[in-house]
Amino acid sequence: MKTIDKYLFQALDNYPYSLEETIESLDYAFSYDAKNTMVLCLYGRIQAEQLMNYEEAKLYFQEALAINIHALEVYPYYLQTLILNEDYDEALKLIDFALTIKGINKSDIYVKKAILFEARQEFKKALEEIKNAKLYSLQFTYECNISEVEKRIEGKISLLKKKKKTKKGPKKKLK
């Protein structure tokens, strides 16, 4: 095992529970190989998930993909960052590209596409992508995630239906 792997595993093991130790391990790993896509991806995740610094996170993800376009670990986190940053067009382009990459978890990418449509409040399109995610799902752990997203979207649809009913309801006469 390479020394960089040791530090990378320590960083992954510590994240997100011990950010200080995560950063320390990442810095060591980075000093051994500044072009390691897993290291760059985890730096990006910290920027996005912990610091809500989406623009900085995007730079880390872009750097990782510039080094290796087949860095499969980067795509789900990069997509989530783009969605949170409301870069929807950029996210759709990345989704379309990611789905062409051999070996990528297509189920996970379709879930991200569903979340993108959910964020844009295009709930019917979101549910369509959930169907695609289910079709491509090969592991039970992903099925649980898909079901959670599906329930959340359906909950929003029913919330909108209730809202429309209350708006169309009979008006009370003033006395």
Check pLDDT > 80 for residue 171: no
Per-residue confidence band for 167, with pLDDT thresholds at 50, 70 and 90: confident
Please report which helix (H) or strand (E) contains residue 146, including its range: helix 140-168
Per-residue confidence band for 69, with pLDDT thresholds at 50, 70 and 90: very high
Check pLDDT > 80 for residue 172: no
CATH of 1-99, one of 2.40.70.10, 3.30.1330.40, 1.25.40.10, 1.20.58.110: 1.25.40.10
Check pLDDT > 80 for residue 4: yes
By the 10 Å C-beta count (0-12 exposed, 13-18 middle, 19+ buried), 7 is classed as buried
Domain with CATH 1.25.40.10 in the chain: 1-99
Per-residue confidence band for 141, with pLDDT thresholds at 50, 70 and 90: confident
By the 10 Å C-beta count (0-12 exposed, 13-18 middle, 19+ buried), 102 is classed as exposed
